[in-house]
Amino acid sequence: MTIIDSIKTSMLVPIHPAGIPFIAIFAIFTLLIGWFWSPLYFFGLVLTLWCVYFFRNPVRVTPILSGINKNNLIISPADGRVIEISQITPEEDIGLPVGDWTRVCIFMNVFDVHVNRSPMSGKIFYKNYIPGSFFNASLDKASSKNERLILGMDTDKGKKIAFVQIAGLVARRIICDVDIGSSLKVGEVFGLIRFGSRVDVYFPSDVSVMVLKGQKMIAGETIIGDFTKSSKSVKDNLDEK
């Protein structure tokens, strides 16, 4: 694949509706600065193309939709890289029963797709927006200190999970398009975070973890957990690459 083909593949994809106003603003900005001094057209064009790139919403093929282990797989809700896999007792604001749960944290940099997708099929039973700080989302304290929006789901599998959109150092806006009572299909888009952030996923500790720390995730496609397999010790995954 040539460089031009790669650019076309990245750019010629659907755009999330939340990005359209920003793309328009960047385009108008480009015209204005270029009118004052023509060399600035290039600078504005680069910014506009980056904005289009940031809000891209590529088509994804979710494994469960292909009939593999229907309702048993947990799919990554975000593009990015796994920065932590741990077994914890969630804080009360996560909305899950007291006990041991596995948490997988996925960090999105400003070049990753920022559209978030449902990790399983089910109904939202819990929603909690918590204002907070804007520390670097790769830091552990971001899970409890940063602005975040928590969704709890009763899955079609009959189990509870939770997923948390967390704002980062640059991010200043969490967009969530669902509410309590909303039904989601696995891989379905439910929101977006601007510009650089993370998503944490909580699921039962006896569910097998299918990813490693440092692994690259693809939202709607990468399998991060499997209810049908015996649990693998989270400790074994912590320092693996």
Look up 197 and say whether it is catalytic.
yes
Residue 214: pLDDT over 90: yes
Residues 6+ apart with CB under 8 A from 53: 10, 11, 111
CATH 2.70.70 corresponds to the domain 63-237: yes
Catalytic residue among 10, 76, 197, 208: 197
pLDDT confidence of 6, banded at 50, 70, 90? Answer: very low
pLDDT at 55: 76
Q: Which residue has the higher pLDDT, 94 or 231?
A: 94
Average pLDDT over residues 215-230: 89
Alpha carbons 109 and 197: distance in angstroms, whole number: 7
**In contact, 224 and 119? CB cutoff 8 Å:** yes
pLDDT digits (tens, 9 = 90+) for 146-197: 788 999 999 988 899 999 998 866 655 788 899 999 999 999 999 888 766 8
Query: For 15-52, how does the pLDDT look when each residue is reduced to its tens digit (9 = 90+)?
Result: 777 777 777 887 888 888 877 777 777 887 887 887 77
Residue 118 clears pLDDT 90, i.e. is over it: yes
